[in-house]
Structure 1
């Protein structure tokens, strides 16, 4: 009988699902890392919310663990890389909290606009401070959305119902989807200038970290209200504190913080600052929905091998697994590659299947590729949510199949039509292709150039001109920086033309080294990729 450890509070109805399926459960909440390490070896599954933190040390001790289920969306508390290396499937419940979080953001906006918490406190102290609180109407004001995906679009719907003008910054929001939602798509600079209220709805990634920096906050209107119910680390908290003191900001309402639990913070005690302890998903309805969903998903996996809403492996049935699994891994890596080099978003995605792979069930392969593609910019995207997220963004998806492949038994090719922006000199198509050789994914084409390379965990990708001296200069730079080269693969159009270098390295190079590399006269583009 499989055995599941419930590491955070879970509804009795969800626990009953495990029992009805013949799965034993033990509930032990509040375990620290040492206690979790001691407990985990005897369990096949682990259920968590946000408090229980299965890190790399826990994974190392998890000798029998097969699946971790997150009752919710965010998986910041789970070391997915360590889980993947251990062969542990990580699942989440991607849609159960969207409405609840959107409603919380709207509630926080109203609370800041009318200074409700402070007015409530003084009223209950018997002060009756009627003249001390002059609120702000939100109707006919401009709401700036940073992120207009699953949750942001729901905030937009509610804000429009309040007669607000909504502008949205989201590189992956198409013009068509913006029209459908009734929002105006703008660049970040314009949003900063126009918004009366800014609310954030993006994951914390390298591209979104500190998106409301001190510099960006200085570009905003006096009297702005900021709402953050997404992730800590998106906003410069010290700058917000100073601007609340100076009066540049009329209010700020945060449900999330850079360090959690936030027992102390520079924002605490500031005028018209409102804080809640990460309650965005904390409603009875949302908690029940995600708990029931995660119990069903984990039971299916432990009993039949079916994988649903997985973050680190494709969703496939037990019958399909032997044939599909290696190609799903290839598709996810091709998508991740394409996503990481599409710096300014994209309008269209084309996936081509050639040869034997064209006859397989392509739905999980496409979902795996889209998950890899979107995860580069949107964080916690899984195979179930990826197609819906892409559809919601309005990005056009085309899938084709060809029975024969000229060179390989099977080939998967992805083409991404990237956007050109005022900060980018070029858009156009990015093309990658790969195959499976001896059970392992291999990349065999980049930008139409043939090469054969592996997906190293850390890969330096360089698009350069095929000129003498480049490889020597690159090798010398990496050597001087003590960055060891594991693999080196090259491709080119013709002698002296455009070329590609794909270098597997043992460590992530410093920013200073990348700056130096990009200044080489032969280099057109350079990026560190992780797989």
Structure 2
């Protein structure tokens, strides 16, 4: 059955057509974005939800979204999506951070010009017929120092445009390397240095605990007299009360703000101050940007629903289409390993240790980790998936650790999963053969070669004659057919294990009959999703 997507906000016809061209059923109902009750009534029918800013994806909506796999936000901001609730429900949240980069950067440059030349006030004065030619003395951008806080995607474009305007650019960004700064032809500085030297300051960072109020009253006081400040990033990065005070005192010569701590901004300390240009969050408001993000979100959602590729996800490791193709068997193996060890473990799990050896160690390990954790958590919560599993594990206080190493054995690559409880450690390893089929290759340190089947039986016993015959005859007596059978032992006369791949699920009466023989230390039927 083809995936089904709901578009509950206004997206372009071209974006709608992308879904249809990819074979995805799509309902375009933009009226639902502002009607949460109507949205709740229908959301359970859909695999994907494409939105802009009107639709609020709340916990109550997610409770009703029983089939939902992905929410795609056409734009960068996802404040209207409860990402924690989405993760718990196993729903991927995607955005489109690159579709509006140029338009937001251009808006910052436009505000710089507007503030430098007092354009809005001059325009209003001229419209009023005043012709106050001497009242609006501006400054040139050429030769001025621009301080860029955040030199990522949008900040990087601003740096490039500012250099074209013959400005000297200094940048503060903890993640900006010396090499990258050299390539960008900007001077990398710390925040205090930027505040001290900049004639203009523009912000291009997300709002996090680390960046909130980055231009605090204390930091604003460190700026040079006559500085002009631009914010097209996020409200809350600047102490607006403190900035208003400094504008009134004349220390700050002007400001251009497109974003505010509270939006919609009906009242604000910056409003009605001289040489303060304010716009209503227009950074992404160009026809080109709106079209770009709409097309981008449609492509990303279609890729995920059809191929498993994950792009620009906020609560899941990104997986390219090529990675999804190559890693598919390894992701399935990782899930089987986690599921096997979870079915064998009855006491609470304290820690999960994952070892990647050889070729698999060079793959997308965060995605593989999610699959292992999902396999383990499925025994506890059957509805869990790769998105929700890490959240559930974290809530239960389970520690996750990962090790990767060069090829160390006969296999080109393998994964080994170990779980730690109060009582014991238990481990299992597996690999993917050239036929693309996952195999269990080691259990409890004992080497085996077992194909993964939907219904399996795991037994342990002392390595003595007659065990295999008794197991086979008893299963035959109960009309249980073996599709495959694998043995292994630690040493002659020591502990031995057997894994049987069965055609059907094992009846509890057969398990009891095996236990009653007294020959087996452990008898455990196992179930795997190999579809």
Distance 1:327 1:250, change over 3 A: farther
3-state SS in 2 of match to 1:5: strand
Q: How far 1:178 sits from its partner (Å)?
A: 1.2
In structure 2, runs of 5+ residues without a counterpart are 336-352, 370-402, 418-424, 430-531
Where do 1:203-218 residues align within 5 Å? 203-218=206-221
For residues 26 and 176 of structure 1, the distance between their equivalents in structure 2, rounded to whole angstroms, comes to 46
Corresponding position of 1:78: 81
Whether the aligned pair in 2 keeps the contact of 1:354 and 1:401 (CA below 8 Å) is: no
SS of the residue 1:360 aligns to? helix
Instruction: Give the greater-gyration-radius structure (CA).
Output: 2
Which residue in the other structure is 2:190 paired with?
A: 187
CA distance in 2, matches of 1:364, 1:199: 35
- TM-score, length of structure 1 as denominator length: 0.63
What secondary structure, in the 3-state scheme, does the structure 2 residue paired with 1:120 have? helix
Q: Give the alignment partner of residue 145 of structure 1, picking from 131, 144, 148.
A: 148
Which residue of structure 2 aligns with residue 362 of structure 1?
Answer: 362
Contact 2:103 2:286 in 1 (8 A): yes
2:133 matched to 1:130?
yes
1:222 maps to 2:225: yes
Shift of 1:104: 1.0
CA deviations over 1:439-467 (Å, ceiling 9, x no partner): 9xxxxxxxxxxxxxxxxxxxxxxxxxxxx
Gaps of 5+ in 1: 329-352, 370-398, 413-434, 440-531
Matched positions, count: 363
CA RMSD of aligned residues (A): 3.1
Give the structure 2 partner of residue 342 of structure 1: none
Q: Where does residue 346 of structure 2 map in the other structure?
A: none
The corresponding residue for 2:21 is 20
Aligned to 1:324: 331
Kept in 1: contact 2:356–2:404 (CA 8 A): no
Once residues 59 and 205 of structure 1 are traced to their aligned partners in structure 2, the CA distance between those partners, rounded to angstroms, is 25
1:161 to 157, 160, 164: 164
| Structure 1 position 204, deviation (Å) | 0.7
User: Which structure 2 residues correspond to residues 502-517 of structure 1 after superposition, within 5 A?
Assistant: none
Could you tell me which residue of structure 1 aligns to residue 453 of structure 2?
none
CA distance in 2, matches of 1:122, 1:179: 44
- Counterparts of 1:27 and 1:49, CA distance in 2: 13
Between the aligned partners of 1:122 and 1:368, the Cα distance in structure 2 is 63
Q: Higher mean Cα deviation, 25-34 or 255-264?
A: 25-34
Query: Deviations along 1:469-497, whole A, 9 cap, x unmatched?
Result: xxxxxxxxxxxxxxxxxxxxxxxxxxxxx
Match of 1:56 in 2: 59
Alignment check: 8 A CA contact 2:6 2:48 kept: yes
Taking structure 1 as reference, are residues 241 and 10 closer, same or farther at Cα in structure 2, changes over 3 Å only?
same
Specify the alignment match of 1:386 in structure 2.
none
Question: What displacement does 1:15 show?
Answer: 0.9
Residues 357, 406 of structure 2: 8 Å contact kept: no
Match of 1:116 in 2: 119
**Within-5 A mapping of 1:331-480:** 356-360=356-360, 362-365=362-365, 401-404=405-408, 410=415
Change (3 A) 1:133 1:157: same
Change (3 A) 1:145 1:293: same
1:57 offset after TM fit, Å? Answer: 2.4
d(CA) in 2 for partners of 1:368, 1:191? 42
Instruction: Find the counterpart in structure 2 of residue 173 from structure 1.
Output: 176
